[in-house]
C-alpha cells in the first residue's frame, strides 16, 4: 500500500486538517502517516484558538516516521509558525537528498516522493493560521522542495503580491509562484467573481480548468481534501494532469454533498462517491425483493394505464444513472401484476426528477412509485397513518412533464415547517402531457411497497378499489 505523509494541524471537528486528510487518503486507497504541527480549537463556527506544536516536537515526529516508513508522497498543510516551516523544510531536504542551496532541480530527481504544499495562511473565517514570518519562510524554504503548490485565490494574491480579479490575473500569479520554486502550481479560482476557473501551470504551459459554481453551504475542509487527494493520487504513480482531473471530480462531489453538521459551515463529504458505488448492489436487491411482494400480493388494481414503476436511488444520487427501476415497468396483466424485466440503473427516467428533487430536501427518501390516481385517497391516508399532500393546480402543474412535476413537488416540500415530517404520498391532478397520478415516497422499495399495498387493501374495503 502506498503511503502519504501528512504534515498538518489538528481540527477537533474533523472537517479539515489532518483528520480530513486521513479520511481522504484512506478512501483513495493510500495509508496516511501524520505529523501534528498545531492543535486548533475550532468548530463549524470558526477558530477560537491555535496552539502550535514546538518545532522540536515536529522534528521528532518527522524523524520517527522517516526512519521507519517508506513515504510515497508528502502533503503539507497548516504549519502555524516560521520555526515549524524551517524545521519541516530541513527534514525534507535531508529526506529528499537536496542540498540547502536548492541547486539541483527538483523535477530532475526521479524516484523522489512528490511534495504537495497547501499554503494554509488563514481559516475560512479569516483567522490567521500562519504568522507573517512564516509566510516568507514558506516561500524561501519550502517552495523549492514543492512538486505541486495548491493556493486558493487569497493565498495566491498574498504569496505572489498581485491583485487577482480575472482568470488572466490568476494565471499571472500562478506563473509567478511557479518561478519561486514549485514544479507545478494549481491555483484555485473558486473565489473569482465570475465563472470559477482554476489555473494549472508548470511554468511553460498554463491550463485553465473551468468548473460550475456550486451552491455549497457546507464546504469546510475543501482545500485540505483537495491537497490530500492530489497527494494520494501522485503517491500511486499518476501524472499531475491525471491526478488533478481525478481530484477535481472528487472535490466537486464532496462539495455538492457537504454535510450539514454543527451549527455553522459543515464539512465537505469525500465519502459521497464511494457510498454511491457501494450501494448499487443493495439498491438492485431491494428492488427485486419489493417486486416479488408487489407481484405476489398483486398491486395491479393500482397500476395506471401508462403502467407503474418503482425507483430507488443510491445515496448522494446525481442523475438518471444513479436511480434504478424496472426497464419493462410494472404492468397490469389479466393474470395480475406482471414485471417483465429485472431492475436496472437508468431504467426509470420518469421518476428520476421526482426522486432527486425529494432527496434535496429529505436525503433519506430515496424510493418512489407511481400508482393510479384515485379520488379520496388524501382523506383515506390518515386512517392508514400515512401523510398525504396534493399539488395545487397552477400553470406549472397543468403543463409540462416530469420536470414540471418535480419543480411543483419541490415547492410543496419547501412549504413544510422545519418540524413537519415529509409526506408519504403526493397526489398529482395531472396536466398537459401528464396523466394524473399518486406518488408514494419512502426510504426504500420495501417501505414504498408496504404503503402501496396498504392503499390497495383500504380502497378495496371502501369499495373504490
| pLDDT, averaged in runs of 10, over the chain (465 residues) | 98 96 98 97 94 97 97 97 96 86 52 92 81 91 96 94 90 96 94 87 94 87 97 97 97 95 95 97 98 97 94 96 96 94 92 93 95 87 92 59 81 85 90 81 98 93 70
> Which pLDDT score is estimated for 377?
86
φ and ψ of 292, to 5 deg = -60, -40
* Cβ-Cβ contacts under 8 Å for 174 (sequence gap 6 or more): 156, 160, 185, 186, 187, 199, 200, 201, 206
Strand-pair partners of 301:
none
Closest C-alpha among 24, 84, 68 to residue 235: 24
On the 0-12 / 13-18 / 19+ scale of CB atoms within 10 A, 419 is exposed
Is the pTM value of this prediction over 0.75?
yes
| Residues 303/332, Cβ–Cβ less than 8 Å | yes
Locate the domains of the chain by residue range: 3-276, 290-461
Identify the architecture of domain 290-461 in CATH.
3-Layer(aba) Sandwich (3.40)
> Which pLDDT score is estimated for 368?
97
Round to whole Å and give the CA distance between 114 and 151.
17
Sign of the CA dihedral with 2 first, then 270, 354, and 381 last: positive
> Which pLDDT score is estimated for 108?
44
> Which pLDDT score is estimated for 178?
97
Return the CATH number of 3-276, one of 3.40.1190.20, 1.10.3470.10, 3.40.630.40, 3.10.20.440.
3.40.1190.20
Complete DSSP assignment for 195-261: S-EEEEE-SS-EEEEE------S--BTHHHHHHHHHHHHHHTT--HHHHHHHHHHHHHHHHHT----
Round to whole Å and give the CA distance between 286 and 131.
55
> Which pLDDT score is estimated for 326?
97
Amino acid at each position: 500500500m502506498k503511503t502519504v505523509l501528512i504534515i498538518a494541524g489538528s481540527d477537533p471537528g474533523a472537517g479539515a486538517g489532518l483528520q480530513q486528510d486521513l479520511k481522504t487518503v484512506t478512501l483513495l486507497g493510500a495509508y496516511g502517516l501524520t505529523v501534528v504541527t498545531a492543535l486548533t480549537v475550532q468548530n463549524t463556527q470558526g477558530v477560537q484558538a491555535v496552539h502550535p506544536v514546538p518545532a522540536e516536537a515536529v522534528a521528532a515526529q518527522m524523524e520517527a516516521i522517516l526512519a521507519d516508513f517508506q513515504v510515497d508522497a508528502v502533503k503539507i498543510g497548516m504549519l502555524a509558525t516560521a520555526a515549524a516551516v524551517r524545521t519541516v523544510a530541513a527534514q525534507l531536504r535531508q529526506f529528499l537528498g537536496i542540498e540547502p542551496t536548492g541547486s539541483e532541480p527538483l523535477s530532475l530527481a526521479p524516484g523522489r516522493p512528490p511534495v504537495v504544499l497547501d499554503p494554509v495562511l488563514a481559516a475560512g473565517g479569516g483567522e490567521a493560521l500562519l504568522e507573517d514570518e512564516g509566510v516568507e519562510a514558506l516561500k524561501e524554504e519550502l517552495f523549492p522542495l514543492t512538486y505541486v503548490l495548491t493556493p486558493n485565490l487569497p493565498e495566491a494574491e498574498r504569496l505572489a503580491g498581485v491583485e487577482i480579479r480575472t482568470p488572466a490575473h490568476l494565471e499571472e500569479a500562478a506563473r509567478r509562484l511557479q518561478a519561486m520554486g514549485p514544479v507545478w502550481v494549481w491555483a484555485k479560482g473558486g473565489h473569482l467573481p465570475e465563472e470559477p476557473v482554476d489555473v494549472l501551470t508548470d511554468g511553460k504551459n498554463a491550463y485553465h480548468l473551468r468548473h460550475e459554481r456550486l451552491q455549497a453551504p457546507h464546504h469546510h475542509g475543501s482545500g485540505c481534501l483537495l491537497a490530500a487527494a492530489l497527494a494520494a493520487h501522485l503517491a500511486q504513480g499518476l501524472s499531475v494532469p491525471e491526478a488533478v482531473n481525478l481530484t477535481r471530480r472528487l472535490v466537486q462531489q464532496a462539495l455538492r454533498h457537504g454535510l450539514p453538521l454543527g451549527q455553522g459551515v459543515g464539512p465537505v463529504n469525500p465519502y459521497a462517491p464511494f457510498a454511491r458505488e457501494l450501494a448499487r448492489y443493495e439498491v438492485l436487491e431491494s428492488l427485486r425483493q419489493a417486486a416479488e411482494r408487489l407481484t405476489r400480493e398483486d398491486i395491479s388494481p393500482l397500476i395506471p394505464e401508462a403502467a407503474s414503476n418503482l425507483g430507488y436511488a443510491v445515496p448522494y444520487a446525481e442523475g438518471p444513472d444513479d436511480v434504478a427501476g424496472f426497464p419493462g415497468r410494472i404492468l397490469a396483466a389479466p393474470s395480475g401484476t406482471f414485471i417483465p424485466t429485472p431492475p436496472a440503473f437508468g431504467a426509470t427516467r420518469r421518476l428520476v426528477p421526482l426522486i432527486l428533487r425529494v432527496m434535496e430536501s429529505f436525503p433519506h427518501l430515496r424510493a418512489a412509485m407511481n400508482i393510479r390516481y384515485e379520488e379520496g385517497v388524501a382523506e383515506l391516508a390518515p386512517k392508514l397513518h400515512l401523510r398525504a399532500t396534493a399539488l395545487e393546480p397552477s400553470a406549472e402543474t397543468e403543463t409540462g412533464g416530469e420536470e414540471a412535476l418535480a419543480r411543483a413537488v419541490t415547492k410543496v416540500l419547501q412549504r413544510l415547517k422545519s418540524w413537519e415530517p415529509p409526506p408519504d404520498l403526493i397526489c398529482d391532478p395531472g396536466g398537459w402531457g401528464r396523466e394524473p397520478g399518486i406518488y408514494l415516497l419512502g426510504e426504500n422499495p420495501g417501505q414504498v411497497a408496504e404503503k402501496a399495498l396498504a392503499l390497495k387493501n383500504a380502497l378495496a374495503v371502501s369499495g373504490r378499489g
